[in-house]
Structure 1
Amino acid sequence: MRYVSTRGGTTPMAFSDAVMTGLAADGGLLMPESLPDISARLDDWRGRSFVETAGAVFRLYVDDIPDDALDALLAEAFATFDHPDVIPLVEVGDVRVLELFHGPTLAFKDVALQVLGRLFEHILARRGGDLNIVGATSGDTGSAAIAAVAGRAHMAIFVMFPDGRTSPLQELQMTAAADANVHCLAVEGSFDDCQRMLKAAFADQDFKARHRLGAVNSVNWARVLAQISYYVHVSVNADRPCTVAVPTGNFGNILAGIVAREMGAPIEQLILATNENDILARFFDTGVYARGAVHQTLSPSMDIQVASNLERYLFLRFGRDPERVRAFMSAFSEHGHAKIGGSRKGENRVDEAITPVRVDAQETLDAIAETHASHGYLLDPHPAVGVGRNLVGDHLGQRG
């Protein structure tokens, strides 16, 4: 398996090179040259543990790390979780909630970042050298990345976060880290400002090479790959094709679900649930991708108006045509908006398999209160965006 840029300007590279490269030299994101078809493997994978499923998925995409080393790395990463199932699926009324919060920092990003930190360590041990990891966070990526890298040899991590716009717990998780290789930078502005500086640093190839930069954000394909694993695991073990509601900010999580579905995982529908920062909901509803102001909400990790991983979706949507991806991203960069055509039905909706929903603050609070009152289950505001009453009634029901 080789990896290419969504914008077509890089030579195909191996998995380890893709991990260490992060953002492609031409400004694009790295994607596998093809997606493996897992349809014939579904019965064999049913009933496996999540760690076993993750190993099977990773082996489809990784051919330059020995299987035994990869299996050991994944087992060690997921041993940091405090639940024997790692990511238990629990019934809450008419829906089932995938609990991704059992990792070291209680953030769902632990699933991917505990793996990525160990991948960096494995590759550096094999190749030698040092790595300066640079990340931008709206809250959860920063603390999870620090937990994955803190104290590890030959790595330093620099995390930018929007000052005053992360949760108090997440800010403390970042700024209270005492390890010498951890550096936190509070930025005046939004997450999008942090992400823009991150991309500028990686776009300067001289600077990137001189300072040996590594990416910990979901621009790194390894992050997405770890997330694909849990979509495959959950859907394979469901009793019928499932509908999955995904609270969405930077589009990395739901992209993993889209890729899993493209690979043949039995996922019928993906519900893209945003908060008031609804650029993605508007895009999938109308085909128009238009930047707006970032609003502070009850779900700050989703307070994003420029979603990096949408570019990977566009690469798939455009039939892997890098010229169309470049044109779309160039229009958005220059004008603050870009447009694509509708679905095969000729409607404005971009993708028949993706249902966009915007959930506001009151609906989020209602979901938290009603879920706790009815089922004794306390939701964080982020998953509450994904299980609002309107979603359950209109889209999920018994299929969730």
Structure 2
Amino acid sequence: MRYVSTRNNNQDYSFKEVFLKGLADDGGLFVPKSLFRFNEKELSSLKELNYQDLAKKIIQPFVTDFITENDLSQIIDKSYSVFRKKNVVDLIEIENKKILELFHGPTLAFKDVAMQLLGNFYEYYLKNENSKINIIVATSGDTGAAAIEAIKGKKNINIFVLHPLDKVSSVQRKLMTTVKDKNVFNLAIKGNFDDCQNLVKSMFADKNFSNSIKMSGVNSINWARIIAQAVYYFYSYFLIDPNNQKVNFSVPTGNFGDVYAGYLAKKMGLPINKLIVATNQNDILHRAISKGSYEAQEVTETNSPSMDIQIASNFERLIYDINESNDLLTNNIMKSIKETGKYNIATKELEKINSNFLSSSV
């Protein structure tokens, strides 16, 4: 599979390039040049697979130029051997609603599901390369902890985590800052998560700097995280077993990465009706989806700091999609957002969003 940037689709990339870069040189996000779609018979053949084997089937087509099928199988088994549940996640029922538990990884965050895989992808790559990598990651709490857990102690790779000073939970701070491995570095930034994220983006944008340190990123914009997270939408759908009927997924989100993975699963043929975007008071996504107003406001501190975000980075992928993969238009929209902090979504494009997404703010 080949990939393009949302801001310039004239050049295509391999998965290895997409994975290691994280962010395109032009500042855009990577998306598949074309996407395969499971038919009903193929979906039926996936129903009885355990989580690990399902992950192999879902992920393999995205990474064919990076890793052999056998090596991928071994890495997936290794990645998910550290989870407390044999099948990685668990589906429970509360008041006639199905709840997917994603907290059975080593840092109790859903980020572990993708991050453990990414850590082993880096190790696999570096095993055959005379090279070193420096991972720079911004976090509002759980991403940093999950990334550190996945990377700590690995050879030829360092991880630098930027978190907002005094704006992460005590548990998350301790998970990040008490790790003693010599390849782990924590930096507390005076500001909020968006400030941390902007620093990381500016480092990526400085090509001389990022190339000189062989910089890579594991934030939710990294396509490898999206495909890893898409797996549990398939798995939970098969557990519910609605006989090919469409279902709705309600997803708490701040950076639009996890819910975008559900959107990817839908595009791959999974029978999803609507993806319900659930935000806290930092409701830029709710305003965008319900009113067509994507406009950054002041960040409000809440009891869910991992969602205290005003610029949802992965939303760019949806902007690219609703504008018919128009890279020039997407580039202009993103420039406007950077300059003005807002994007007014036209009626036609908003209708496209609403055909796939609903939203609510708490």
Which TM-score applies when normalising by structure 2? Answer: 0.96
Greater CA deviation, 259-268 or 194-203?
259-268
Q: Is contact 1:285–1:350 with CA below 8 Å preserved after alignment? A: no
Q: How does 1:112-123 map to 2 (within 5 A)?
A: 112-123=114-125
Q: Is contact 1:342–1:351 with CA below 8 Å preserved after alignment? A: no
SS in 2 for 1:12: strand
SS in 2 for 1:27: coil
Q: Is contact 1:296–1:303 with CA below 8 Å preserved after alignment? A: yes
Q: Percent identity?
A: 40
Aligned to 2:26: 26
Letter in 1 for 2:346: G
Aligned to 1:62: 63
SS in 2 for 1:127: coil
- Equivalences, count: 357
Shift of the alpha carbon at 1:23?
A: 0.6
Q: Is contact 2:7–2:327 with CA below 8 Å preserved after alignment? A: yes
What is the aligned counterpart of 1:84 among 83, 86, 95?
86
Letter in 1 for 2:14: A
Shift of the alpha carbon at 1:352?
A: 2.1
Rounded Cα–Cα distance in structure 2 between residues aligned with 1:161 and 1:321: 34
SS in 2 for 1:231: helix
Letter in 2 for 1:56: K
Q: How does 1:104-183 map to 2 (within 5 A)?
A: 104-183=106-185
Q: 5+ unaligned residues in a row in structure 2: which ranges?
A: none
Please give the per-residue CA displacement for 1:76-132, whole angstroms capped at 9, x wherever unaligned.
001110111211111112211111100000011000000001111111112330000
Aligned to 2:251: 246
What is the aligned counterpart of 1:354 among 346, 351, 357?
357
Q: How does 1:152-301 map to 2 (within 5 A)?
A: 152-240=154-242, 241-301=246-306
Rounded Cα–Cα distance in structure 2 between residues aligned with 1:230 and 1:282: 27
Aligned to 1:328: 333
Aligned to 1:370: none
Rounded Cα–Cα distance in structure 2 between residues aligned with 1:278 and 1:342: 20
Which TM-score applies when normalising by structure 1? Answer: 0.87
Q: Is contact 2:31–2:317 with CA below 8 Å preserved after alignment? A: yes
SS in 1 for 2:17: helix
Q: Is contact 2:322–2:353 with CA below 8 Å preserved after alignment? A: no
Letter in 2 for 1:287: G
Q: Is contact 1:328–1:339 with CA below 8 Å preserved after alignment? A: no
Q: Is contact 1:6–1:315 with CA below 8 Å preserved after alignment? A: yes
Rounded Cα–Cα distance in structure 1 between residues aligned with 2:130 and 2:35: 31
Please give the per-residue CA displacement for 1:215-273, whole angstroms capped at 9, x wherever unaligned.
01012100111001111222234332211100010000000001111111011111100
SS in 1 for 2:128: helix
Rounded Cα–Cα distance in structure 2 between residues aligned with 1:243 and 1:286: 21
